[in-house]
Structure 1
Amino acid sequence: MKTDDKHPSQPGAAPRAEAPAGARLFIHEPGWRITIKRGSEREFCHMMAPGKDYYHRLLDGEIVLQHDTERLCMACAARRGVISHEMRRLPDEPPKLLVESDAETILVLRLDEPK
């Protein structure tokens, strides 16, 4: 497995928009937890950076998102859509249910009801 000299979040990596000062981060998928990579053990991000054909290393002290055995650096988690600087918004209006009031009632039999 080949390693990269530049981490996707370091200068020289793919350009990306910077977060505004005081920005908050939101996780949009359930089951993810935040960890900090500690030590010199070789661990790799589970997603390849754009334009690369190999997985990059997670660095000591780096904030990482983890779901079971899958680990993502923050840059890759943002590209994948797991995290963002915007919270999910509720719909502006509730869904519209089209039900006719003069429609016939449909009887649904349950399995435990005698026929």
Structure 2
Amino acid sequence: MTEEFPIEPPADSLLAESLIVPQETAASFRPAPQPDTRLYIPHHENWQARIKADTEKIYCYAKLPGEDFFHLILNGEIYLVGETEKYCLRCALRVGIATQDRLFWQNRVLKRSATSL
């Protein structure tokens, strides 16, 4: 006569079973939406966006607050080119050339002409 012994699952599988997340919990967990990181140039007529891809030294036209020197625009960096000046995106945002306000066109104050008064 043979005796049968119950087989117990290894301790690791018990731990794995306790870590299983029910489907309704997994489905209800969604990652936070990505923030809107688009930039807009309200007065875009004289501006072009470029990517620095050469060895020429290009300096941003603005100095960062607290610094007394112009900083370099690095390879692969997106920057704005005006008629005579070049700005990194950070400085373009800071000085008001670029904005993150998607509704900039609604918030703009239009100048009235002297003839309409």
Measure how far apart 1:22 and its partner are: 3.1
Measure how far apart 1:25 and its partner are: 1.3
Asked if 1:48 is matched to 2:63, the reply is yes
Deviation digits for residues 80-108 of structure 1, max 9, x if unmatched? 111111031436xxxxxxxxxxxxxxxxx
Measure how far apart 1:72 and its partner are: 0.2
| Larger RCO, structure (CA 8 Å, separation 6 or more) | 1
Larger Rg: 2
Q: Which residue of 1 aligns with 2:51?
A: 36
Question: Contact between 1:28 and 1:81, CA under 8 Å: does it hold in 2?
Answer: no
SS at match of 2:61: strand
Aligned residue pairs total 72
Structure-1-length-normalised TM-score = 0.57
Aligned-partner Cα distance in 2 for 1:28–1:89: 7
| Aligned-residue identity in percent | 33
Unaligned regions of 5+ residues in structure 2, if any?
1-33, 108-117
* Partner AA of 1:62 in structure 2: E
Unaligned regions of 5+ residues in structure 1, if any?
1-19, 92-115
1:60 to 65, 72, 75: 75
Structure-2-length-normalised TM-score = 0.56
Question: Contact between 2:42 and 2:105, CA under 8 Å: does it hold in 1?
Answer: no
